[in-house]
Amino acid sequence: MDVLRPPLIRIGGRVYRKNLIQEQAFPHEEEEDFCAGPGDCVDEPCDAFVVEETERGFQCRLDVPSPLYKYIIGKKGETKKRLETETRTSISIPKPGVEGEIVITGQQRSGVVSARTRIDVLLDSFRKKQPFTHFLSLALNQPAIQEKFLQFKEEVLEKCSKDHGVSSSLFQNPAKLHLTLGTLVLLNEQEIQKACDLLQRCKEDFVDQITGGQPLTVEVAGVEYMNDDPAMTDVLYAKVHMKDGSDRLQMVADQLVERFVASGLMLKEWDRVKLHATVMNTLFRKDPTEERNNTMTGKSSFKERESFNGQNILKLFENFHFGEVQLDSVRLSQRFSSDASGYYATSGQLCFS
């Protein structure tokens, strides 16, 4: 690591330096730990979070989803003990499974600030390892689109079933056809509500201005593949574009993701959103309920996939027309779920009209 250009970690709208430190072995830790040295937080701004003065010193409260408590506690409580010892603070954590505030108390303000900052960095590291729970989506499961998709599936199996790896198990569930804008890890009701509230603010701040308060008419036509070699395809998707030729859908997608990244609810993975509707995916071969149909996360799973030869499909269906659809909302969709229509259960939504 270049000590003059240390990695930067974005937490809650602020940017922290990840300083080079001497690694220490803690054989009893449950998982890898990230803890800065006692003096590393001296340069942190004291107004990054609220530190209250009390009769006995200072305290700071922070909301942490209960599934993350274990990363602060550590195996046999060793991570928590080390934090308390090195920052000269006391850290109170609710019982497992009980949602509540973690309270840091100490006689010195600097110690409380140090403990809080180190907990933030620690949680940020482990949150990135959590599987996503929700995603922002645009539904493409209207009846006409589903009918054309089923026609596409039937013709592909009729004309290309002898190609290596091609089978009916690769195809998306037509009721779940969609565009994914980005994925989120929401671990309790408070975080889900925060995401819903942010969607509504986005509507007021820029979405209504871009859409004009009207649905966006898009055309779903043509197919393309994700990886470099069409003979070893993992994901085949339908291309989506605005019927009027504008970039309004791309603008909505990019600005939504930018706002969610800035809020800390989403990780930035690409410079712009790749608008695509997955129609075939080798992940579905192993797990038909798997809706992870783009390449944002889970890259390690690609090694376990059985790719298929998509060359003939690309030639024969290069310009296949799936139809036109009016997009009227962005949904906060819940992974591994279904509503009455067969689409993903919706935790919240932003309506265009």
Q: How is 15-57 classified by DSSP, letter by letter? A: EEE---------TT-SS------TTTTTTS-TTSS--EEETTE
Tell me the average pLDDT across 298-308.
63
Q: Which two tokens stand for residue 177?
A: 């056809």
30 vs 22: CA distance, rounded Å: 20
CA 22 and chain centroid, separation: 32
pLDDT at 305: 84
Q: What are the tens digits of pLDDT across the range 249-296?
A: 999 999 999 999 999 899 888 889 999 999 999 999 876 565 544 434
Query: What percentage of the chain has pLDDT greater than the value 90?
Result: 75
Q: Which two tokens stand for residue 197?
A: 């509230």
Fold matches, 8-129 and 134-285+307-351 = no
pLDDT at 10: 67
In terms of phi and psi (left: phi > 0; alpha: psi -120 to 50; beta: otherwise), the region of 85 is alpha
Q: What are the tens digits of pLDDT across the range 11-68?
A: 666 666 666 555 444 444 344 343 444 444 444 444 568 999 999 899 999 999 999 9
pLDDT at 166: 97
87 vs 112: CA distance, rounded Å: 7
pLDDT at 3: 55
Domain boundaries, given as residue ranges, for the chain: 8-129, 134-285+307-351
pLDDT at 227: 85
pLDDT at 295: 39
201 vs 206: CA distance, rounded Å: 9
Q: What are the tens digits of pLDDT across the range 102-143?
A: 999 999 999 999 999 999 999 989 988 899 999 999 999 999
**Which top CATH class is 134-285+307-351?**
alpha beta
Would the CA dihedral through 71, 75, 76, 81 be positive or negative?
negative
User: Is 219 or 33 the better-scoring residue by pLDDT?
Assistant: 219
DSSP string, 239-280: EEEETTS--HHHHHHHHHHHHHHHHTSS----SS---EEEEE
Number of continuous H segments (helices) and E segments (strands) in the chain: 9, 14
pLDDT score of 299 more than 90: no
Residues 8-129, CATH architecture = 2-Layer Sandwich (3.30)
Q: What are the tens digits of pLDDT across the range 172-214?
A: 999 999 999 999 999 999 999 999 999 999 999 999 999 999 9
Tell me the average pLDDT across 156-164.
97
